[in-house]
Amino acid sequence: MAQQFNTITRDDIKKNNRVRIFKALQTSGRMSSQELSRKLDLSIPTVNKNLISMEEDQLLLSPGQRGNTGGRSSKIYEVNSKQRYAIAVAITRHHISGVAVDLSGRLTCQVRYSQVYCRQDSYFRKLGRVVDELLVTGNINRDKVLGVAIVLPALITKDGRQTYYNGVLNDDPVMECEEFSKYISFPTAFFHDTEAAAYAERSVDEDTSDFFYMMISDSLGGGVMLHNQPYVGKHNRSGEVGHIKIMENGKKCYCGGNGCLEAYCSTRVLSAICDGDLADYFQLLEEKDERALQLWEKYLNHLAHGINTIRLLFDCKVVVGGYLGQFAEKYLSQLQDKVKELDPFSDDVSYLSFCKYKNEAAATGAALMYIDEFISSI
Ligand SMILES: [Zn+2]
């Protein structure tokens, strides 16, 4: 069998240096060429050449000088954050959220509406209005927008143009991106919410390149991050742990099966005793309400079972995000104790944490994917 080798050209190396310098500035903020040279182990002429060309391309700004070494001060650089933006609109059963992220990867503005999902023209018009509102609120020039991500709790084809499973939204399996983009005058693509939320988490946890992200909200899904990139599987549905069966002849799940983890561990299980309000449920728990306490104990047992299965499969860090991650931080050790009892190999449960990125993770993660794709092409 013929063996193939990937050859790296001088142009690849030059481009790689340019991207590395840009990303270092994106992460660290302002830096001089000397600081970049030390951080990236590149020669100062190489760094300078790239900085000058990126400043000419208006990707970088030079807001001033720093230090005074041997009578010479050095010019400092930063990302021209207003040069490009990505927008994301995240759809759930009961809400629409919108975010705008700038070229430095910063969330610049966000909106959120209570709006029940329905596949009607009025709903798609609303999506268009959310995008327009973000442009106005964020004072964003239309020419600077890379695209609009439409984030769904649905399974999406690899080209981002279609859904092929819509159990959470309880709609037709196949829906076209064009239909949702009718009132959005930018390039658009569908994004899977769990994968996008995992991507946002990656942006705030530099120590971890491999982890499993459990997104536990009104529905339960997962995303696999491998070597700092989403591992999506052959059909873009890796990590769908919500449908692991944890109970024979158990509760009915929206997938049509019985006893799925989803049916026991979505946040709806908790909020059901508070008219669907998860904040109210955690308030009851805080007040040590007997009914809330009993439900929590059962819930954690099921969740620990799911987490232990993921740990056995992947042997990596597990991050619990979604609505649950926003509220349950103070109960981490209680959950860790339950997971520890199930682990056949180790007592170390430090691999388990709640998410660090708590604000509109799915929408922000999808917008960050647009921004990162642009950066890889600069
Ligand atoms: Zn299921």
For the segment 147-193, what is each residue's pLDDT rounded down to a tens digit?
999 999 999 999 999 999 988 888 889 999 999 999 999 999 999 99
Same domain, 238 and 340: yes
Q: For the domain that residue 307 is a member of, what is the CATH number?
A: 3.30.420.40
The two beta strands, 317-321 and 211-216, are: parallel
Kindly give the distance from the C-alpha atom of residue 234 to the centroid of ligand 1, in angstroms, as a whole number: 20
Kindly give the distance from the C-alpha atom of residue 318 to the centroid of ligand 1, in angstroms, as a whole number: 21
Q: Which residues have C-beta within 8 Å of that of residue 187, sequence separation ≥ 6?
A: 146, 147, 148
Give the mean pLDDT of the chain. Answer: 92
Kindly give the distance from the C-alpha atom of residue 302 to the centroid of ligand 1, in angstroms, as a whole number: 15
Q: Which residues have C-beta within 8 Å of that of residue 378, sequence separation ≥ 6?
A: 18, 19, 22, 54, 57, 59
Write down the pLDDT at residue 205.
Answer: 78
Same domain, 313 and 296: yes
Q: For the domain that residue 15 is a member of, what is the CATH number?
A: 1.10.10.10
Q: Is the pLDDT of residue 70 over 90?
A: no
Same domain, 298 and 251: yes
Kindly give the distance from the C-alpha atom of residue 252 to the centroid of ligand 1, in angstroms, as a whole number: 8
Kindly give the distance from the C-alpha atom of residue 219 to the centroid of ligand 1, in angstroms, as a whole number: 10
Picking from 27, 60, 79, the residue at the C-terminal end of a domain is 79
Kindly give the distance from the C-alpha atom of residue 242 to the centroid of ligand 1, in angstroms, as a whole number: 6
Condensed to tens digits (0 to 9), the pLDDT of residues 204-243 reads 877 778 999 999 999 999 999 999 889 989 998 999 999 9
Does some domain include residue 337?
Answer: yes
The two beta strands, 107-114 and 95-102, are: antiparallel
Average pLDDT over residues 240-253: 93
Task: Please give the structure tokens belonging to residue 291.
Answer: 């009914």
Average pLDDT over residues 352-371: 95
Q: Is the pLDDT of residue 247 over 50?
A: yes
Same domain, 225 and 365: no
Kindly give the distance from the C-alpha atom of residue 160 to the centroid of ligand 1, in angstroms, as a whole number: 23
Same domain, 150 and 256: no
Write down the pLDDT at residue 236.
Answer: 87
* Beta pairing partners, 252: 258
Write down the pLDDT at residue 14.
Answer: 77
Does some domain include residue 3?
Answer: no
Q: Is the pLDDT of residue 328 over 70?
A: yes
Q: Is the pLDDT of residue 117 over 70?
A: yes
Kindly give the distance from the C-alpha atom of residue 324 to the centroid of ligand 1, in angstroms, as a whole number: 19
Kindly give the distance from the C-alpha atom of residue 212 to the centroid of ligand 1, in angstroms, as a whole number: 19
Does some domain include residue 340?
Answer: yes
Kindly give the distance from the C-alpha atom of residue 259 to the centroid of ligand 1, in angstroms, as a whole number: 7
Write down the pLDDT at residue 3.
Answer: 47
Same domain, 315 and 216: yes
Kindly give the distance from the C-alpha atom of residue 258 to the centroid of ligand 1, in angstroms, as a whole number: 7
Q: Which amino acid is present at 9?
A: T
Same domain, 59 and 141: no
The fraction of the chain above a pLDDT of 90, given in percent, is 83
Write down the pLDDT at residue 2.
Answer: 45
Kindly give the distance from the C-alpha atom of residue 248 to the centroid of ligand 1, in angstroms, as a whole number: 12
Q: Is the pLDDT of residue 5 over 70?
A: no
Q: What residues have their beta carbon closer than 5 A to ion ligand 1?
A: 243, 253, 255, 257, 260
Q: Which domain holds residue 262?
A: 206-354
Kindly give the distance from the C-alpha atom of residue 249 to the centroid of ligand 1, in angstroms, as a whole number: 12
Same domain, 32 and 156: no
CB distance 241 to 221 below 8 Å: yes
Q: Is the pLDDT of residue 9 over 90?
A: no
Task: Report residue 203's pLDDT band, with 50, 70 and 90 as the boundaries.
Answer: confident
Kindly give the distance from the C-alpha atom of residue 246 to the centroid of ligand 1, in angstroms, as a whole number: 10
Same domain, 338 and 221: yes
For residues 148 and 29, which has the higher predicted lDDT (pLDDT)?
148
Task: Report residue 69's pLDDT band, with 50, 70 and 90 as the boundaries.
Answer: low
Does some domain include residue 4?
Answer: no
Kindly give the distance from the C-alpha atom of residue 304 to the centroid of ligand 1, in angstroms, as a whole number: 18
Same domain, 303 and 365: no
Task: Report residue 198's pLDDT band, with 50, 70 and 90 as the boundaries.
Answer: very high
Half-sphere exposure of 259 (CA within 13 A, CB side): 7
Kindly give the distance from the C-alpha atom of residue 257 to the centroid of ligand 1, in angstroms, as a whole number: 5
Kindly give the distance from the C-alpha atom of residue 334 to the centroid of ligand 1, in angstroms, as a whole number: 26
Number of domains in the chain: 3
Kindly give the distance from the C-alpha atom of residue 217 to the centroid of ligand 1, in angstroms, as a whole number: 15
Closest CA to 239 of 278, 277, 201: 201
Same domain, 276 and 159: no
> What is the distance of C-alpha 213 from the center of its chain?
9
Kindly give the distance from the C-alpha atom of residue 43 to the centroid of ligand 1, in angstroms, as a whole number: 55
Kindly give the distance from the C-alpha atom of residue 2 to the centroid of ligand 1, in angstroms, as a whole number: 44
pTM: 0.90
Kindly give the distance from the C-alpha atom of residue 155 to the centroid of ligand 1, in angstroms, as a whole number: 14
Same domain, 213 and 349: yes
Q: Is the pLDDT of residue 313 over 90?
A: yes
Q: Phi and psi for 284 in degrees, rounded to 5?
A: -60, -40
Kindly give the distance from the C-alpha atom of residue 325 to the centroid of ligand 1, in angstroms, as a whole number: 21
Kindly give the distance from the C-alpha atom of residue 251 to the centroid of ligand 1, in angstroms, as a whole number: 10
Kindly give the distance from the C-alpha atom of residue 198 to the centroid of ligand 1, in angstroms, as a whole number: 21
Q: Where are the beta strands (DSSP E) in 42-161?
A: 60-69, 72-79, 85-91, 95-102, 107-114, 145-152, 155-156
Kindly give the distance from the C-alpha atom of residue 254 to the centroid of ligand 1, in angstroms, as a whole number: 6
